[in-house]
Structure 1
Amino acid sequence: MNDLTRLGLAVRQPELERHLDWLVQGSRDIELQDLCESVELLEGDWPVVARRQAALLSAHRGRVGVHAPFWNMQLDALDPQVRRVVQGRYRQGLDFAQEVGGQWLVIHSPFSFWGHPVAQHRRTLPQEIGLAQLTLEPVLARAAELGITVVIENILDRDPAPLMALVAAFESPHVRLSVDTGHAHVGAQQGGLSAQGWLSQTQALLGHVHLQDNDGSADEHLAPGEGTLHWPGVLRSLRQTTTDPYLVVEVMPHQVAQAVRWIDALPPPGAG
């Protein structure tokens, strides 16, 4: 059972500074997202930012992770040159994580759906998994050296089965599945599984969760309770997890304060 007391935030530098005391006092999970949100930082002096954030987190005793660059990053790239670019950006994410004492690195699922959620990828899945393994082979070797877990997040996925098969294929404790509740909620309006269903079906492989809300029509990254996602069911599924996943609310910057209020309003462990 999970009491959700580690539930924290995905933040960039301004939100980290604004909510640092709250995060530190609660030893809450923190996911640093400057590297994935700023293209300029990728080609700039990112080590300075990483060291600045490491200094801010010097008193933090909770868990820390980093979101890897994701724009144009195709995990199962067929083109070897594209694959090398993806590998380089993921290694950059690991380097950032090393600077801040990170324990996880978020990357995105390669699966998109153009057909029925159950039938899509059925014939091509072995090839797609093989290509993803080629991409991640050197990345995982580095992650293992650093003690970092790579978590693969549902993005356009509708059916958990392909992503579960991909994660399981690595047979590695350094690869786990990530569920984004908002992505699942949008997918559910298009024939996919609900967020609660994703959490239940993936539980054995679950290593990380992004909590966010929307109205089912777009990936809005609203604070929980601001959309139409059924949070009592999601929270019930989260409390039943046995793998101790990293837990962060991932919302737009203007929604972070509302997310903190929502977390603070959650019933304490054992209540009710």
Structure 2
Amino acid sequence: MSESLLVLGAALSIKSIPAHRDWLLERQRDLEIQDFSRAEVLDSDWRAIACDIKAMLDGHTGRRGIHGPFWGFKIDSHDPLIRRAVTKRLLQGLEVAEFLGATHMVIHSPYTTWDYNNLDSENREGLIERVRATLGDVIARAEQAGCEIVIENIEDKDPKDRVHLAKALGSAKVRVSLDTGHANYAHHSTGAPPVDHYVDAAGDMLAHVHLQDTDGYGDRHWAPGEGNIPWAAVFRALGQLTSKPRLILELRNHDHVRAGAAHLKALGLAE
């Protein structure tokens, strides 16, 4: 770990940004806006919502991103009709990102626990081709907009799978995201490696991290310190990277963001 501590950011919404505005601005922290992952928002007057958010963020110069849409679909669908719908949703997300000046958009990994045991006997390369068919136009738009697409682990048991996928898509604007809570769930409940191994597997392909704590049983999105993730090991691994990933506290209760940040600061890991 370098002498200067890593600076934390947060995943917030239009309702929670005002409460944390001063905290964001004091260190120009990275921000992930989460309102635009929902279909009903994307299909509404999302520009009005985005304009209100931009006004709230006056003076913020930290990196901004959004959580892209993910509800109700996977990016490796076998059905061409479904793939077209997924492409449309993700292009909507990128339109929002560009409007907000966001330079990352989170999407979800297609890999499941079932895949870990069965994909080699099915068609591992076929999955990549289906993702390529879904994301082709999305990646082209991301490249034009200067927005990185970061692929977040969900059920991923082998942390190398989505790293291989991101590289196979062949764009500098496709990188990897790590959700610490998802990795900890996979470790305790499905036999995946511990969380720091996910950092090591990604290396400098890691551009984004969702920091949340869990008990290893479910997707808790607790503040760091409430679960059993070994944070010292995670931040030791992060400290070896040169990619400077965004470190985003993604908590179910946004009121706990400062407490989670304070816990990591007390451990001497971040600020």
Name the TM-score class by shorter chain: over 0.9
Aligned partners of 1:15 and 1:256 also within 8 Å = no
Tell whether 2:172 aligns with 1:196.
Answer: no
Aligned to 1:216: 216
Equivalent residue of 1:121, what SS?
A: helix
Aligned partners of 1:31 and 1:67 also within 8 Å = yes
Equivalent residue of 2:15, what SS?
A: helix
CA distance in structure 2 between the partners assigned to 1:165 and 1:267 by the alignment:
33
Q: 1:263 to 1:72 in 2, by over 3 A?
A: same
Tell whether 2:10 aligns with 1:12.
Answer: no
Aligned to 2:157: 158
Aligned to 1:206: 206
Amino acid of the structure 1 residue aligned with 2:155: L
Shift of 1:225: 0.8
Equivalent residue of 1:84, what SS?
A: helix
User: Identity percentage over the alignment?
Assistant: 39
CA distance in structure 1 between the partners assigned to 2:204 and 2:239 by the alignment:
14
Aligned partners of 2:224 and 2:261 also within 8 Å = no
CA distance in structure 2 between the partners assigned to 1:207 and 1:86 by the alignment:
23
CA distance in structure 2 between the partners assigned to 1:92 and 1:150 by the alignment:
13
* Residue 121 of structure 1, aligned match among 119, 122, 132: 119
CA distance in structure 1 between the partners assigned to 2:16 and 2:154 by the alignment:
24
Structure 2 length-normalised TM: 0.93
CA distance in structure 1 between the partners assigned to 2:133 and 2:5 by the alignment:
35
Aligned to 1:105: 105
Shift of 1:169: 0.2
Shift of 1:263: 4.8
Aligned to 2:75: 75
Structure 1 length-normalised TM: 0.92
Shift of 1:68: 0.5
Shift of 1:251: 0.5
Aligned to 2:25: 24
CA distance in structure 2 between the partners assigned to 1:234 and 1:73 by the alignment:
30
Aligned to 1:177: 176
Where do 5+ consecutive residues of structure 2 fail to align? none
Shift of 1:120: 3.9
The count of residues paired between Structure 1 and Structure 2 equals 267
Shift of 1:39: 4.1
CA distance in structure 2 between the partners assigned to 1:268 and 1:114 by the alignment:
35
Shift of 1:268: 7.4
CA distance in structure 1 between the partners assigned to 2:222 and 2:261 by the alignment:
12
CA distance in structure 2 between the partners assigned to 1:20 and 1:70 by the alignment:
27
Aligned to 1:148: 147
Deviations 1:58-94 (A, max 9, x none): 2111100000011112101111111111111111111
Deviations 1:107-137 (A, max 9, x none): 000011126x4x5422421000000011110
- Across the aligned residues of Structure 1 and Structure 2, the Cα RMSD in angstroms comes to 1.9
CA distance in structure 1 between the partners assigned to 2:231 and 2:164 by the alignment:
27
